[in-house]
Amino acid sequence: MHDAAWRRFVTLFVTTFLGGVVGLGAFVVLMDPYDVVPFSLPIERRLVSISQRHMYPQVARSGRFDSVIVGTSTSRLLDPEVFNAALGVRLANLAMDSATAWEQLQILSVFGASVAKPKMVIVGLDRVWCEPAADRERITFRGFPEWMYDANRWNDLLYLFNLSTVEIAGRLLGYHLGLYPERVRYDGFEVFVPHEEQYDLERARHNIWQGPSRSVSAQEPPVRLSEQEERALRFPAVTWLQDAVSAMPDTHWIFAWMPVHVAAQPQPGSHAAAVENACKARVASIAERHSATLLDWRVPSSLTSEDANYWDPLHYRLPIAYRLVDEIVAAARGRAERRAAGGSR
One residue of 81, 133, 161, 213 binding another protein per CB under 8 A: 161
Helix (H) or strand (E) holding 244: helix 236-247
Q: How far apart are CA 117 and CA 223, in angstroms?
A: 43
Q: Does 1 bind another protein (CB under 8 A)?
A: no
Q: Does 164 bind another protein (CB under 8 A)?
A: yes
Instruction: Considering only the stretches 45-53, 155-163, 267-275, 324-332, report the one whose residues sit in contact with another protein under the rule CB under 8 A.
Output: 155-163
Instruction: Considering only the stretches 75-83, 162-170, 185-193, 217-225, report the one whose residues sit in contact with another protein under the rule CB under 8 A.
Output: 162-170
Q: Does 232 bind another protein (CB under 8 A)?
A: no
Binding to another protein (CB under 8 A) within 118-147 occurs at 143
Burial of 5 (0-12, 13-18, 19+ CB in 10 A): exposed
Q: How far is the CB of 5 from another protein (least distance, A)?
A: 4
Q: How far is the CB of 170 from another protein (least distance, A)?
A: 12
Of the two residues 106 and 277, which places its CB atom closer to another protein in the complex? 106
Q: Does 24 bind another protein (CB under 8 A)?
A: yes
Q: Does 16 bind another protein (CB under 8 A)?
A: yes
Q: Does 9 bind another protein (CB under 8 A)?
A: yes
Q: Does 3 bind another protein (CB under 8 A)?
A: yes
Instruction: Considering only the stretches 161-169, 182-190, 196-204, 292-300, report the one whose residues sit in contact with another protein under the rule CB under 8 A.
Output: 161-169
Helix (H) or strand (E) holding 341: helix 318-344
Burial of 12 (0-12, 13-18, 19+ CB in 10 A): exposed
Q: Give me the DSSP letters along 276-309.
A: HHHHHHHHHHHHHHTT-EEEE--SSSHHHH-GGG
Query: Using the 8-state DSSP alphabet, how is residue 188 labeled?
Result: S
Would the CA dihedral through 231, 232, 237, 242 be positive or negative? positive
One residue of 81, 88, 133, 162 binding another protein per CB under 8 A: 162
Residue of 27, 207, 233 whose CA lies nearest to 134:
233
Q: Does 192 bind another protein (CB under 8 A)?
A: no
Burial of 51 (0-12, 13-18, 19+ CB in 10 A): middle
